[in-house]
A and B are shown apart, each in its own frame.
Chain A
Amino acid sequence: MAAGLLSATRCPACGRVASPPEPYGCEGCGAPDDTLAPAELQAAGTVRATATVHRHHKADPPTPFTVVEVVLDGGGPALKGVLAPGLQPPAIGERVQGAVVDGRLVWEQEG
């Protein structure tokens, strides 16, 4: 899996980046949605935290699964996604890359 690109918006007025793209208006400064510029972010960064989930209210995804919170490179937002099935949870600070699969951001260790 190569690092995917994530759709985003960047506010020309205050610089705030949102991903998924912001549909209504900038949370940073209130600039309306039609002024926000489309952008793309590389789905790559460092692990801030992980949590392996043992109980879930739905069958999908099957437990246990691991949620990974990642600080994107370049000061973007911290994004949560699931670890690709079958992998050992990464350590905090480890580098990961991700892609959106069936609407969910899926992370795996780089390389």
Chain B
Amino acid sequence: MGRNILADRAVHVLGIGLHRYQAASETPFVQLGLTAVRDALADAGIGWPSVEAAFVGSALLGMAPGRVMLSRLGATGLAIQQVENASASGSTAVAMAALEVASGRSDVVLAMGVDKAEGWRVAPNSAGLGTYEGGTVVPFTHFALLADDYMHTYGTTVEQVARVAYKNHANGARNPFAQRQKARTMDEILADPISGSFTRLQCCPVGEGAAAVILASAEAVARFGLDPARCPRITASVTRSEAAYPPGTPIDATLTGDTCRLAFEQAGVAPTDLDVIEVHDAFSIEELLYLEAMGVCGPGEAGPLTEAGTFDIGGRVAVSPSGGLLAMGHPLGPTGCGQVAEVTRQLRGEAGDRQQPGARLGLTHMVGIGAVCVVHILQAGT
């Protein structure tokens, strides 16, 4: 690994903003995106002309969504780049923005995600690689197979896996930006089978929305006269892709473990130090797999600990307090930015009735088709 430039020049979150995640609608992406950016500017208390560069995460909008949208805040001529990295597009926009600030090239940078669930084109499907699956193994079945293997290995029950969705739907019910804002009974969670042990409410909704975060240097925080306690610091930003693992290695969890290890090293913290985690829980089993891969708990422990409330808001560490992908939703481009927004809210102590008490350290984690993984660690401002 090269130099840890986040240690050289501090990168802070100044402002966060969201457009609620929702089912597909006629709302143009420009409207979704501008709502989130205006919200973030107001939250930061700065004007649009102060933003020097923008990274726009989207996976489905196609070419050039950035300027046609951001110019409606006033076409200042700032640098605009689109970032596509599958489900991790928004997280990668944050990573690029953090690098932009840490490098010293810019002082104030926007990272955002905006998307609409239409026009899916997935490059690996047209890569000219052979397959024996003939379109039968879509993501929910890929993870249903991992769930079956996991439950068999550790004796975890179908109900313990489903408890992830029970918890995250309860969290989403308290998040005004969540696509699914309804607490569910275990009977509701376990109804309506999709694949393997997964049911409809154990699979994330893919809709539309937007999320924005404004990053800046410590100098900018001081220059604008902002309250440092409201400006958490990004202390790790790590992006990795799947390596050539030995045959039979569980790819998503191994990639997560490797990426998180580098992030913990970069931030100089341990997994058990975390107060808040926003994890890629597109399917219920993933939260269990990734918590163990991160080292938050040991192998096979995540199911019983979820059932015991360890990962509830108010538990040892709040996991997916936003509702996660399962309840807040997974509109692709916005998702990773939305995670950083949620952790920022938590570290500021501004998360209202879903506040994790005393939250000082948070982590965001996304994986994307490919596979890629992006992890950030944020430290409360002082």
Q: Mark A22-38, 1 if CB is under 8 A from B, else 0.
A: 01100111000000000
Q: In the complex, A45 Cα to B325 Cα: how many Å?
A: 35
- Across the interface, which residues of B come within 8 angstroms of A82, CB to CB? 134, 136
Q: In the complex, A23 Cα to B130 Cα: how many Å?
A: 8
- A21-B130, A58-B135 are known contacts. Are A67 and B145 too (CB-CB below 8 A)? yes
CB-based contact A53/B195 at 8 Å: yes
B78 interfacial by beta-carbon distance below 8 Å: no
Instruction: Name which of B135, B137, B193, B195 has the most chain A CB atoms within 10 A of its CB.
Output: B195
- A27-B244, A28-B244 are known contacts. Are A52 and B132 too (CB-CB below 8 A)? no
- Across the interface, which residues of B come within 8 angstroms of A75, CB to CB? 247
Cβ-closest chain B residue relative to A28: B244
Say which one of B146-154, B257-265, B347-355, B369-377 lies at the interface with A: B146-154
Within 8 A of A (CB), among B32-73: none
* Size category, A interface: 35 or more
- Across the interface, which residues of A come within 8 angstroms of B222, CB to CB? none
- Across the interface, which residues of A come within 8 angstroms of B131, CB to CB? 20
CB-based contact A104/B145 at 8 Å: no
B138 interfacial by beta-carbon distance below 8 Å: yes
Q: In the complex, A58 Cα to B146 Cα: how many Å?
A: 23
Q: In the complex, A16 Cα to B249 Cα: how many Å?
A: 14
In the assembled complex, the CB of A17 is this many whole angstroms from the nearest CB of chain B, namely 7
Q: Mark B108-145, 1 if CB is under 8 A from A, else 0.
A: 00000000000000000000111111111110010011
Choice from B145, B149, B244 contacting A16 with Cβ under 8 Å: B244
B residues adjacent to A (C-beta < 8 A): 128-138, 141, 144-149, 152, 193-196, 244, 247-248
